[in-house]
Amino acid sequence: PGADGVRRFPLTLRTGHTEFLTGKPAETWGINGSYLGPTLRMRRGDLVAMDVRNQLPQPSTLHWHGMRLPARMDGGPHQTIATGGTWSPQWRVDQPAATLWYHPHPHGETADHVWRGLAGMIIIADDAGLPARYGHDDIPLVIQDRVIGDDGEMEHDKRPTFGLMGDDILVNGTLGAQLEVYTTLVRFRLLNGSNARVYHLGFADGREFHVVAGDAGLLTAPAATARITLSPGERAEIVVAFAPGEPAVLRGFAGDDDVDDGNHQILRISAAADLSRSPALPDRLPGAGPVAVPAGARVRRFKLSGHDEINDREMDMNRVDEVVPAGAREIWEVRNAVYAHNFHIHGVDFTVLDVDGTPPPAWQAGRKDTVYLPPKKTARLAVEFDRHTDAATPYMYHCHILRHEDDGMMGQFTVV
């Protein structure tokens, strides 16, 4: 923090060049650099001030995905930053430790801006006794699929229904990523930063690992599993055990849904011959636990149809679809009429009550802000809304498959 107690983050959206293939630079966009942006570390209680400068040839925005803050600071489609302009939101971090992220949200252009490279991770640090040495035993993994041509350029390959997708997997902007680890336990903060691809993640040798956090913070206890699914925008923190000298491969496996065709290698890991012994994984974690919805709580229903509509209408920047009382806890029932989608709500935490009547597995039972909706399923969410009120500035809810969001599968709500 500076002398005034404020933690300042200067962030410049800019164009640049990135060598995904050595000696063959691609034209990319980045934040402070040429692809992706810095990881922003903060703690609960911090007063943070962003200085976002737009040096792109187009207007854009920067949204703090998962942050609980006043709608004016949210960086959604109403907080546009003109070319050459600066936007300086400021807020107090007042939510549990979590892995969040930031990315542009200009209406109709989000898919293009994210695909070109604009995104970064936000860490609200915890004191839970988990591996926490950033870059050593606490490793961010921003997973994105892209198309890198033989000439090294990033191609814009729009597929039917789901938009921009590719078969070249980038991790933190690196094609064919590899990592050496030096401790017996390593925490990975996984972010699906892809435009559309859903990943069914696990290790090639089928080993189990522990999920310790979902989108919006820690679980109440580590949950053992061998496979997790992350749709665009979702995060999970996992802790993986390694033996000295051992290799491991984090992979995406094929699913049975229509948006994931893939067996993909994500990250090749090798454990050093000598590993320093990590403290044991705690049995309990200080997660917030499920959102408790009071009896008789309001139920709102949302139907996602085609690739562009919620409740039979497209997004309209000038229409507020829902008005929610401050601090309300409600049930949001989201029905997916046809093919794969997901659903993200700004400025809230939710827990998934069930998907088609089945409660989520332990690793998915923590607080979230984005939920995967396989084809023709209905998710019931217990949603806790913010206490920040603003009748004039809406928050968004939308499908986080960015083509769908851009096409209008988005709505607006205010908290009053």
Stretch of residues binding ligand C2O (CB under 6 A), selected from 78-86, 299-307, 374-382, 394-402: 394-402
Residues 56-85 that bind Cu ion (CB under 5 A): 65
The structure tokens listed for 232 are 């665009």
Residues 51-90 that bind ligand C2O (CB under 6 A): 63, 65
C-alpha to C-alpha distance for 137 and 134, rounded to whole angstroms: 6
Angstrom distance (rounded) from CA 98 to CA 75: 19
Rounded CA separation 29/254 (Å): 30
Rounded to a whole number of angstroms, the minimum distance from the CB of residue 114 to Cu ion is: 12
Cβ of 175: how many Cβ atoms within 10 Å?
15
Read off the DSSP letter of residue 71: G
Please name the residue that has the structure tokens 């979230």.
368
Instruction: Tell me the three state secondary structure of residue 240.
Output: strand
For residue 370, list its beta bridge partners.
344
Place of tokens 């993994």: 141
Among 367, 398, 403, 404, binds ligand C2O (CB under 6 A): 398
Q: Which residue type does 85 have?
A: G
Question: In this complex, which beta carbon is closest to Cu ion, that of residue 130 or of residue 340?
Answer: 340
**Contact between 105 and ligand C2O (CB under 6 A)?**
yes
Cα–chain center distance at 20: 23
Which residue's CB is nearer to ligand C2O, number 210 or number 388? 388
Residue 56, classed as helix, strand or coil, is coil
Residue pair 311/302 in contact (Cβ under 8 Å)? The answer is: yes
Q: Which CB, 183 or 351, lies closer to Cu ion?
A: 351
Give the Cβ contact number of residue 141 at 10 Å.
21
Question: In this structure, what token pair is assigned to residue 300?
Answer: 């709102």
- Candidates 61, 404, 411, 412: give the one binding Cu ion (CB under 5 A): 404
Q: Which does 398 bind (CB under 5 to 8 A by kind): ligand C2O, Cu ion, none?
A: ligand C2O
Smallest separation, CB 103 to Cu ion (Å) = 8
The CB-of-140 to ligand C2O minimum distance in angstroms stands at 16
Token pair of 364 as six digits? 């998915």
Q: Residue 275 CB, nearest distance to ligand C2O (Å)?
A: 36
- Residue among 233 and 252 whose Cβ is closer to ligand C2O: 233
Alpha-carbon gap, residue 389 to 254, rounded angstroms: 43
Question: Is the separation of the CB atoms in 37 and 65 below 8 Å?
Answer: no
Q: Binder to ligand C2O among 236, 365, 373, 396 (CB under 6 A)? A: 396
Task: Write down the least CB distance from residue 257 to Cu ion, Å.
Answer: 12
For residue 350, what are the CA distances in angstroms to 144, 215, 294? 25, 10, 14
Distance of CA 232 to the CA centre of its chain: 7
> What is the pattern of x (binds ligand C2O, CB under 6 A) and - over residues 205-244?
----------------------------x-----------
Instruction: By CB under 6 A, tell whether 341 contacts ligand C2O.
Output: no
Cβ 65 to Cu ion shortest distance, Å: 4
Per CB under 5 A, 399 contacts Cu ion: yes
Q: Rank residues 388 and 400 by Cβ distance to ligand C2O and give the closer one.
A: 400
Identified binder of Cu ion from the candidate list 53, 346, 380, 398, rule CB under 5 A: 346
Q: Is-contact 394 414, C-beta < 8 A?
A: yes
Which residues sit at the interface with ligand C2O, rule CB under 6 A? 63, 65, 103, 105, 233, 344, 346, 396, 398, 400
